[in-house]
Structure formats: C-alpha cells, structure tokens
Structure 1
Amino acid sequence: MRAFFSVVLALAAVVLLAPGSASAHPLGNFTVNRYAGIEIAGDRVYVHYVLDLAEIPTFQVGDRVRSRAYPARLADELELSLDGKIVPLRVVERRVAMQPGAGGLETLRLDVVYTARANGTELAFADRAFADRIGWREVTLSARDGARIDAASVPSSSASDELRSYPEDLLRSPLDVSVATATFAPGDASGAPPALRAVDARKHQGGGFEALIERGDISLGVLLLSLLVAMFWGAAHALTPGHGKAMVAAYLVGTRGTPRHAFMLGGAVTVAHTSGVFAIGIVTLALSQFIVPETLYPWLTLVSGLLVVAVGASVLRQRLGHRRAASHDRREDGRHDHDHPHDHSHDHDHGHHHDHGHSHDHDALTSKGILGVGIAAGLLPCPSALVVLLSAIALHRIGLGLALILAFSVGLAATITAIGLVAVYARRAFSRLSLNGRVVQALPAVSAVLILAVGLVITAKALPGVL
C-alpha cells in the first residue's frame, strides 16, 4: 500500500510540476538537425559534420546512422568544391552518442570529421543530407594554422555551439543554412584535424504525457491513475492554440446545436485524433522510406481547413435559406390573415410546420456537419501521442500505449465538448435576453461566417507547406 501511494504521489507530481513540453529535444520530436563546421587548416580543409536526431528519426533510422559504414555514405550528400572542382571527402574520425529522450526513446548524435587537400582559393560547400526533414541547419567557416579567409558567406562561430545548445530565441525559427562560399588563402603546412569534444548529457525532461509509458511494473490502481493523468494531459493539450475551439463553438451556435450534439462532437474528435495517431504511426513504422511523417502534417492541416470551409459554407447556406423562408412565411401570414378571419387554425398549422423545419435542421446538422467538424478538430495528432505509440512498440507495451493514447484523446475531446456545451447554453441564455430581435436572429449567420473565416485561415496557413 505504501508503494502504491508513493507511485500516486509521483504521478501527481508529473501532472502538477512537469513542464508543458515533455520533448527531450528542444526543437521537437521530429527534427533532424545538421551542422557543418568547415576549417581551413594550413593546406588542408576539414569538415566537422554533426547530425543531431530527435526521438522519432532516431527510432526510424538510428541503426543505419550509427553504423560504421554510414559516414562514407553520408559523404555522398556533402559537396565540397575548390576552384569549381568537386573534391572527395575522406573520413578522419567518427563518434556516436545516444542520449535518453522522451517516452523512453533515445536521441542520437553523430560527429564525423572529413578532410580534403586545400588546392585552390575559392571554396563552395553544399549539404544535401536529410533535405526533406525539418530541423536546424547551420554552416560555419574558419581558418587556422597559417590559412586565411578573405571573404565568406557564413559566420566563423556556431550559434548553437555545434548543436550542443540551441538559442532559445531561435527555437521557433531555426537556422536554415545549407550552403557556403568563400575565398581563402591556404597555409604552407598541414594543420591537424579538429578535436571532437565530449558530448554533454542533454537534460532529460521526464515529465508530461510521454513519461507515463516509462513506468516499471504497473498495478491495476496505478494503471487507472495513469489513464486519468493521460486524460488530464489531453484536456490540457486541447487548451493550447488550435484544435478548433472557436470553430466548434461557432458551429454549435450557428446550427442551433443541443448538448447532445456537443457530446457527439466530442466523440468524433476522439475517434479522429486516435485514428490520426495510428495512421501517422503506421507511416513512421512501415512507410518511412517513401513518406516523411512530418510532411503529412501540412496536408492534414489542409484537409482540416477545407473541411471547415465546407462546413461553414453549408451552415451559412442553411442560415440564409431559413431567413428567406421565414421572411416569406411572414408575408404569407399577413395576406392570409387579411383574407380569412379564421386564422387560429392556420396559425396552429404554421407553428407545426415550423417545428418540423426545426427538426429537419437538427437532422441536417447531425448528418452533414458533426463528423466534418469533429474530424477537423481532431485530425492533427499530437506529436507526444505519437512518441507514446512508438515508445510502446519499442518497450513492448503496446496495450498500455494504446490505452494511454485513447485516454489522451478522450481528455482532448472532453475539453472540446465542454467548450461546445458552454456555447450551446450561452446561445440559449442570450436568446432569452431582452435584446433586439434582429441581433439574436443574426447570431447563427454570424457564427457561420466565423466558421468559414476560420477554415480559410487554416487553409491559407497549410498552403505553404504543400506547395
């Protein structure tokens, strides 16, 4: 029992004290970060090349990158030209370091020193390794041992300390430099190769959702508590920017949704997010040679945006149609009342007709909009959930991983549902206030326009990533 409560306290600490981002790699779980430090030392050119792989690429290609034969293959992706002629790079030294990452996965750092003879005065360099992967790319150029650089297109010192310490102010817009040019004068004697420094252990951030998969033996009580913590992280994640919170609220207002529709939306979000995690996981595991997982995110964002545009246009069309129908009915009522004094029966019939149209509106809402809005809100999987899935596979805890991901998705959907319920009840309260009738009647149409605008913004943000 004492052990159980100690684990409970530990898990509570995870919830209350862990940082918002549990990624052990400061640039994110998907990144492949590259650095090329070019040194002209006497009559030699040295290229100190560094690969810093985050958790997911390490999971995918780590075995290949840390093989002894890999530096020679990597040299084919690095082009060094002297006076316009491409010169071959010879491997001088190689070093591999594995470090703990998020969710029990590892990160990988590869240091390789290449060399060539400095025959010339004009240098050009291009790094084409992992060109399709996101991450930090940096090139520096310096001289020593009698050599001199007259002009260079890149700095002589590394902003990231050779991928050891990334500047906080550049994490959201990392360097993207993969080419360099310079004019130089070589020295007379051969300079020694650069010494590879020891790699400091990266501080492992063990908190957050990913930490749940790392626990040792888990009893039933701890399992249930872990699922609750996963739900907490999902709910907290839904409060971060994105996930269609404004869209969901506007949709339920614009379509006169009910609490039942809010819960249905939550269920759709759960299914969409869980399915998205599994789909990206399958791509990461089985199709990584053909599809880079992170390149799917802009496409998923585009699909989400187009879904929102379609839903917004549909809701706006329905609202405008209902307003025209209501205006027509009022004109017909006026003429009918003038011609026939027995209007009580007609009013009753008209009221019945109105109720039927309102029911039809809810049916249309359920069949045409809820699934689209739910998919749009949950389609983009959280990278932390993907890390948990890959960790579960690596640690042979697939059942636990799937349960945690589902609980995370339920927590995310719970927040979306709560926002939807607030929107539904706020609309009802607003409609009861003694306000201008036109203002109340305009709310659904305004909400539809807001949905359409949100969809257009999402689509516009996705286009640069897919074009």
Structure 2
Amino acid sequence: MKLLAAALVASAALLVVPAVAMAHPLGNFTTNQYAEVVASGDRLYVVTVLDLAEIPTFQAKAERQRLGEGAYAAALAARVLGGLELRIDGDARPFKQLERNLTFPRGAASLRTTRLELVLDAGPLRDGRRAAVVLENNAFASRIGWKEIVVRAERGAAVVRSAAPTASVSERLRSYPQDLLQSPLDVTSAVVRLEGSSQAGIAPTLSSSSAMSARDGGTGAGGFASLIEEQDLSTGFVLLALLLALFWGAAHALTPGHGKAIVAAYLVGAKGRPRDALALGGIVTVTHTIGVFALGIATLALSEFIVPEDLYPWMNLVSALLVVVVGVAVLRQRVSSALASSREKRHHHHHHDDGQHHRHHHRHDHASMTPEEHARAHLPSEGTGWRGLLAVGISGGLLPCPTALVVLLAAISLHRVAFGLVLIVAFSVGLAAVVSGIGLLAIGARSTFSRVSFEGGLVRALPAVSALLVFGIGVTMTVRALPGIL
C-alpha cells in the first residue's frame, strides 16, 4: 500500500511537473538578497534578508558546525553589513543591529536553505527636512541571484522622490514572481529623497522563526530530487524510482539546451548511421554522470576556492568551442567530398580531341552504374568518426543538471551514495535517450529525403548545409558564453 501511494504521488508529480522540479525557484546555486529602507517618523531603519539556496547552504555546513549557530549567524551578518553602505546627504551612516533571525528552511531532497534577517538602525531623520539617501548593496557581489531594494515611509515620514518600489514583489524573498524567474531583479543601489516627521520612529519587526519554518512544508522538493528522501527503500520503490528518474531525465532533455539541434545537424551533416546516434547517447550518459560527480567533488572539497556556479560559464565555453571544432571538421569533410565528386565527374566525361571517350585501363565492377552513382563510388568513405562523436556527446552532456547535483549532495548527507548514484545514472540515461532519439529521427529524415527525387541540388546540399548549421550554432554559443567569463 505504501509503495502504491508513493507511485501515485510520483506519477501525479510527473504529470503536473513535466520538467525537473527545483525547490528553490531561482535555482539551487543562488544567493538572494533583499534590502528595505524604512523612514519611520524621526528615524531611518534598514531591513535586510539573505536567502541562500541548497548548494551554498550545504557548502557552509562545515563552517556552521565549527562555529556553532550563534557565531555563524554573527559571521554571516558581518558579511552582509560589510557590503552594505548608507549615505545621508553624502555622509556615511553606521548601522546598529537591533534584531537578527537565522533559520534553515527545508529545500530540495531534505537539504536545507539559509535565511538571515536583520533589522538595522541607521540613525535620525530631521523633522521637515529633506535628506538625500543613497543605499548600496555590494555583499556577495560575485554570486548569482535575486537582488531587490524597497523604500517606504510611515508614521508621518515621507518618500519625496524615489525610483524604488514601495512594496516587495517577492514578499521579502518568500515568494518569487513566476514571470521574473528567467530575468530576476538585479537592483543593488537606490537613490531617494526622504523627509522625517516629529513622531517617534518604530523599528520594523521580523518574521518569527516558527512562521519562517512554515516554508518547510510549502517549498519542499518535488520531482526528481524528492526520490532520494523516501524512507522505505524497498525493491519495488527503487525500481519505481529508477523508472521515474528516466522519465525526469527525458523531460529535462526536452528543455532548452543539451545540444539536440547540434546532434541532429551533425548526424545529417556527417551522414551518420543509427549506431552513431546510439553511441552519442552513451557518451552523453557517461559525460553527464561524470560531470555531476566532478562538480559534487568540487562543491565538497574545494568550496573555499571554487564557487560551483562560477564553473558553469567555463563549461558553457568549452561546450561551445567543441561544437565549433566539430562544425569545422564536418564542413571540411563535406567540401572535400564535393571536390572529389567534381573531379570524378570530370574524369568520367573526359573526351579525346577526336570525340572518342578515354579508354580506362582498369575494370569497373559497377559498369552499369549511372554517372552520379559512379562518382559516389569513388568518393572518400563517409562516417562520423569517433572524434566527432566524442566531441558532440561531451558537448551535450558537459553541463550537469543542478538538481542532479542536489540529489548527489543529499545522497551524501543521508548516507545513500549508492542509491544516489543509480538515480543520477538513470536520469542521465533518460536525458541521453531523448538526444539519441532526436538523432535517429534526423537520420531517418535524411534517408527519406535521399530516396526521393527532387529537381535541383537541394537534397544533395543538405549535409553541407547541416555542417554549416553546426558551425553557426557553435559560434553563437561561443559568443553567448564569453560574457559569463569576461
């Protein structure tokens, strides 16, 4: 009965969430920040919120255990304050910490996230006098994530001029708007004019720890990452989990990326065979699995030196350059084949001055061939070559899915490394199956077109056009990857 319930829940999740679900809406790598400037009567306050997703929280686990929760909260608050600067009429204002709240809401696959809230006193505001206020937030500047600033007034104070909103669109990093997830806010400064009042200021209050812990049940893991959490690892559930991991890997492959267009264009351009498409799937599986484990090792062993999300731009660039190299190689092969075909045709139609055909001194076994078939018989042998297959496969599987990394880290945390490994392999196989399937469809389409007689050379030019497409995609990927590392 328990297995049946787990199957129903997992199947429902598969139908509702076709893509791999992530507990943190902005991704498992993110460091998200919020700052709220509050003019309250005759005083100025700042509320800050720091939201660390699963992976940076996991990386800080050793430091948290070494320092203890209280000292760790103080150290984290010091990092936030070290990057926060407030100036009023050009003069820097020091902050006095009034309240601090550190919680660890539950995230994906039983991993925790981190939420640090601070209330800061920034000093007095004069009654009836307008002040130019500048807030800059440079904390965690190198980390990716949501960055938001809000400015509001209460108890008689007023916001005279401000480009910043008066209310948070993310509810202080509790609920991120769906329409902004692909282009999150990146606001790190605000310049405003505020006016104080004669009323005594009242400091803002923070959410209680119990209220923040309510997030545990509301944003827990879904989809692939939830499989590692199951307590009863019976044989039936493990088999079901592997099947679901295959499905989620396939669903993830259907999202943008993973070189589907590249695989199709490459196999058409290089005149690949069905076995080449299957080989590509195997290479993608191995590459993606190794990539997840390599990134996991970097996350665990090199957390003081390497930030995992900093590796992704470099992986993107390597993947793009591999595609460029493959495109050049296939294009060169197509040009060589075209030149060889042209030479063979000229040889076949060569005449002596007396109008007689040149006599060959060797016997052809294909004397009954048409001129086109005769020309093709003398072309260099076609084939993708293992180097090309390896490059395309590595390019397609080089970027590991962040959720697969979360599953690995959770498996280590829960002492279920073997189960985590087979889940990741199954996920990678599902991803690779889609890539291979698209390759097989491309090969089948090319074969169908090659059997149909068309006027002109459109079909004959298809491999060369596909090779050019691979090269063009690689160049585009390279151009897009460069800003991430510059």
Q: Considering the TM-score relative to the shorter chain, is it more than 0.5? A: yes
* Equivalent residue in structure 2 for 1:241, among 250, 253, 256: 256
Any stretches of 5+ residues in structure 2 without a counterpart? Answer: none
User: What pairs up with 1:184-333 in 2 under 5 angstroms?
Assistant: 184-188=194-198, 190-198=200-208, 199=211, 201-202=214-215, 203-333=218-348
The one-letter code sitting in structure 2 at the alignment partner of 1:102 is A
C-alpha change, 1:115 and 1:227, in structure 2 (3 Å) is same
Cα deviation, 1:275-317, whole Å, max 9, x if unaligned, reads 2212222222222332221222222112111111111111111
Deviates more, 1:349-358 or 1:78-87: 349-358
In structure 2, distance between residues paired with 1:272 and 1:19: 23
User: Over the residues paired in the alignment, what is the CA RMSD in angstroms?
Assistant: 2.6
**Paired position in structure 1 for 2:476:** 457
Cα deviation, 1:241-260, whole Å, max 9, x if unaligned, reads 22111111111111111111
**Paired position in structure 1 for 2:93:** 87
The one-letter code sitting in structure 1 at the alignment partner of 2:134 is A
In structure 1, distance between residues paired with 2:236 and 2:174: 41
Cα deviation, residue 414, structure 1: 0.9
C-alpha change, 1:171 and 1:371, in structure 2 (3 Å) is same
Secondary structure of the 1:240 match is coil
User: Does the alignment pair 1:420 with 2:439?
Assistant: yes
* Equivalent residue in structure 2 for 1:131, among 114, 119, 141: 141
Aligned 8 A contact 2:345 2:375 in 1: no
Any stretches of 5+ residues in structure 1 without a counterpart? Answer: none
User: Does the alignment pair 1:118 with 2:124?
Assistant: yes
In structure 2, distance between residues paired with 1:155 and 1:253: 52
**Paired position in structure 1 for 2:363:** 345
**Paired position in structure 1 for 2:74:** 69
Aligned pairs, how many?
463
TM-score normalised per structure 2:
0.88
The one-letter code sitting in structure 1 at the alignment partner of 2:32 is N
**Paired position in structure 1 for 2:425:** 406
C-alpha change, 1:8 and 1:141, in structure 2 (3 Å) is closer
User: Does the alignment pair 1:99 with 2:114?
Assistant: no
In structure 2, distance between residues paired with 1:113 and 1:122: 21
* Equivalent residue in structure 1 for 2:349, among 306, 319, 334: 334
Secondary structure of the 2:303 match is coil
In structure 1, distance between residues paired with 2:478 and 2:222: 34
Cα deviation, residue 409, structure 1: 0.6
**Paired position in structure 2 for 1:373:** 392
Cα deviation, residue 425, structure 1: 2.0
User: Does the alignment pair 1:142 with 2:160?
Assistant: no
In structure 1, distance between residues paired with 2:455 and 2:220: 54
Deviates more, 1:45-54 or 1:216-225: 216-225
Cα deviation, residue 339, structure 1: 4.7
Cα deviation, residue 326, structure 1: 0.8
Aligned 8 A contact 1:140 1:157 in 2: yes
Seq. identity, %: 52
C-alpha change, 1:36 and 1:315, in structure 2 (3 Å) is same
In structure 2, distance between residues paired with 1:167 and 1:16: 23
Deviates more, 1:155-164 or 1:332-341: 332-341
**Paired position in structure 2 for 1:388:** 407
Aligned 8 A contact 1:132 1:292 in 2: no
**Paired position in structure 1 for 2:19:** 20
The one-letter code sitting in structure 1 at the alignment partner of 2:480 is K
Aligned 8 A contact 1:302 1:458 in 2: yes
The one-letter code sitting in structure 2 at the alignment partner of 1:76 is G
Secondary structure of the 1:176 match is coil
